Amino acid sequence: MTSVHRDVETATPRETAEGETPHPLGELSEQDLRAHTAEVLERARRRSVELTDAVGDDDLVKQHSKLMSPLVWDLAHIGSQEELWLVRDVGGRDPLRPDIDDLYDAFQHPRATRPSLPLLGPSEARSYVAEVRNKAFDVLERTPLRGRDLTRTAFAFGMIAQHEQQHDETMLATHQLRKGDPVLHAPAPPPATARHLPEEIVVPAGPFTMGTSVEPWALDNERPAHEVFVEAFALDTTPVTNARYAEFVDDGGYGDRRWWSEGGWSYRSEYGITAPRFWRREDGRWWRLRFGVYEPVPPDEPVVHVSYHEAEAFAAWAGKRLPTEAEWEKAARYDPATGRSRRYPWGDDDPTPEHANLGQRHLRPAPVGAYPKGVSAVGAHQLVGDVWEWTSSDFTPYPGFVAFPYREYSEVFFGSEYKVLRGGSFGSDPVAVRGTFRNWDYPIRRQIFAGFRCARDLRPGDAGV
Ligand SMILES: [Fe+2]
C-alpha cells in the first residue's frame, strides 16, 4: 500500500470543508430542487422502460444467465424499493403491495433462485412501478426538503434515482448476456481526438481530501471527507486498450502462472478462461459479441469484461500493478493548483456529453483519447465513463463511517471479499457516478462493464522523484 490514512480525529470539520468545493444542489430553492429531482427520476424511468420494452414478455421473465435476475424482477424491485423508501418511509403512506415485499428483497433471494418465485408478470410489474411513481411524485411535492437527514436536499429521492440507474446498468449487463438479435441501438461514441498521449502521468506525493462531506446525494460509503497521504506514483494516462490487452493474451499470459495470484490462477484454471468474456479468436484475429453484434475487437477501445484477477495478471505481466483506490481518487480529483479535491476529473460541473461516455448514450466504450475535455488536473484521461476500473483495494469503510440510511446499503459488504471499482462505465448514468463514487464486486466478476488501468511506484530517475 502506498497510502496512509491519517487519524481522522485530527481533521476538524473546517479543515475538511476546505478540502472540497461546496455543492450547487444545496444552493437551489426548494422549488428548483424538486424540479431537478423529478427530472432525474424521470430520466431513470425512461431508461428502465427502454430496457424492458426492447424485448418481448418471454425475454422479460426468462433468466438469461444464472448471474442475473430476470428483467421483470429488476423492474418490480425498482418499484418495491421506491415504495419502501419514498412512499412509506418519507411519505408515511400506506403500503401499496406489502404482500410482495419479500419477493423483491435482494437479501432474501439470490439471483439464481429468482425465476422460481411467484413474481409479478410484465404488465403487473409495469402498472405497479407506475403507481408507485405517481405516489412518489406526490410525496416529493409535499415533503419539506430540509430537516430530517433522509429528506435534506432530497437525499432519499436521489438515492432512489441512483438505485434505479444502478439496476438499469445491471439490466444492460443482462442484455449483453442475452442470446439473439440486437434489440438495443445507439450511435457510435466519438472518435479519438487527443493523440500521442504519454503512456503515464506522474502524481506527486502529498495529502489530498478523499471522500466527501458536502455532496448531498453521496452514499454512506463515500463519507466522510478525510485527508489521505499518497506517495508519488505513476498511473497509465488511459485505461488499458484491447490492443494492449491482446498482446498479453497472445503472449500466453493466461497460461503463465507467474502473472497470477493464487486465487486468480485457481479461478482461471477452474473456469478455463483464456481471454476476456465475449472474445473469440477466428481467422487469426479477435472478435467479440456486443449486445448481439459480432464484430472485430476494436484495438483502441478500453478492454471491458475482464475480472479483477485478469486485470491483476495483466498488470504483473506489464511490470506494473493496479492502483489503490486512494491513488485512483487522487488522480481523478486532486487539483495541485488549489490543493482542493474536485467533484469530477474536469472540475466541479456535472458531466456533459463532452466530458465522458456515460448514460448509455453509446453501447460501447469510446476509444482512448475521445474525451480531451474530461482530462483530470494531473493529466489522466477517461477516469470517469467508458469502463469501471478495478482498483487493488478491498471495500472498507472510511474513518468516521456511519451507516445510512441502513446497514444493508454498504456496511454488510465491507471486508476482503469485494474489490472496489471506480469511475463508472458507458452504462452508468451521471447521477450514479462522481469522483467519490465507490462500486464493489467479487474479483471473479466479468459480466459487468469493467476494465482497468495500471499504476506503479516511481523509480529513481522518473520525473517528479
Ligand atoms: Fe437493488
Q: What is the pLDDT of residues 333-372, one digit of tens each?
A: 999 999 999 999 999 999 999 999 999 999 999 999 999 9
Answer whether 191's CB lies under 8 Å from 72's CB.
no
Distance (Å, rounded) from C-alpha 221 to C-alpha 432? 13
* Cα 397 to middle of ligand 1, angstroms: 20
Q: Domain residues of the chain, as ranges?
A: 24-177, 188-465
- Residues near 275 by beta carbon (within 8 Å), at least 6 away in sequence: 249, 254, 281, 286
Q: Which of 227, 459, 260 is nearest to 340 (CA)?
A: 227
163 labelled ligand-binding: yes
* Cα 373 to middle of ligand 1, angstroms: 33
23 labelled ligand-binding: no
Q: Does residue 306 register a pLDDT over 60?
A: yes
β partners of residue 202: 234
Sign of CA dihedral 109, 128, 65, 413: negative
* Cα 364 to middle of ligand 1, angstroms: 24
Q: CATH fold of 24-177, please?
A: Four Helix Bundle (Hemerythrin (Met), subunit A) (1.20.120)
* Cα 427 to middle of ligand 1, angstroms: 16
Q: Read out DSSP for 29-67? A: -HHHHHHHHHHHHHHHHHHHHHHHHTS-HHHHHS-S-TT
Q: Does residue 9 register a pLDDT over 50?
A: no
Residue 463's pLDDT is 65
Q: Which of 417, 418, 427 is nearest to 450 (CA)?
A: 427
Distance (Å, rounded) from C-alpha 455 to C-alpha 327? 9
Q: Does residue 117 register a pLDDT over 90?
A: no
5 labelled ligand-binding: no
pLDDT bin (cut points 50, 70, 90) of residue 7 is: very low
Residue 67 vs residue 448, higher pLDDT: 448
> In the block, which residue shows the cell 488549489?
338
Residue 6's pLDDT is 30
Residue 273's pLDDT is 97
Q: Does residue 396 register a pLDDT over 90?
A: yes
Distance (Å, rounded) from C-alpha 212 to C-alpha 226? 8
Phi then psi for residue 393, to 5 deg, are -90, 140
* Cα 213 to middle of ligand 1, angstroms: 24
Q: What is the mean pLDDT of residues 117-138?
A: 96
Residue 112's pLDDT is 81
* Cα 277 to middle of ligand 1, angstroms: 25
Rg (CA), the chain: 22
* Cα 432 to middle of ligand 1, angstroms: 13
* Cα 104 to middle of ligand 1, angstroms: 9
Sign of CA dihedral 92, 97, 99, 101: negative
Q: What single-letter amino acid sits at 95? A: P
Q: What is the pLDDT of residues 170-226, one digit of tens each?
A: 999 999 999 999 999 999 999 999 989 999 999 999 999 999 999 999 999 999 999
Residue 464's pLDDT is 52
441 labelled ligand-binding: yes
Between vectors from CA 346 to CA 17 and to CA 343, what angle results, nearest 5°? 30
Strand order in the sheet with 206-210: 3-5, 226-230, 206-210
If DSSP codes are grouped into helix, strand and coil, which group holds residue 208?
Answer: strand
6 labelled ligand-binding: no
Residue 15's pLDDT is 38
196 labelled ligand-binding: no
Residue 18's pLDDT is 64
77 labelled ligand-binding: yes
Give residue 391's Cα distance to chain centre. Answer: 12
Residue 4's pLDDT is 34
* Cα 162 to middle of ligand 1, angstroms: 10
pLDDT bin (cut points 50, 70, 90) of residue 102 is: confident
Indicate the CATH number for domain 188-465: 3.90.1580.10
Residue 2's pLDDT is 31
Answer whether 327's CB lies under 8 Å from 457's CB.
no
Q: Which of 23-27, 225-229, 368-372, 373-377 has the lowest mean pLDDT?
A: 23-27
Q: What is the pLDDT of residues 30-75, one digit of tens each?
A: 999 999 999 999 999 999 999 999 999 999 999 999 889 999 999 9
* Cα 96 to middle of ligand 1, angstroms: 19
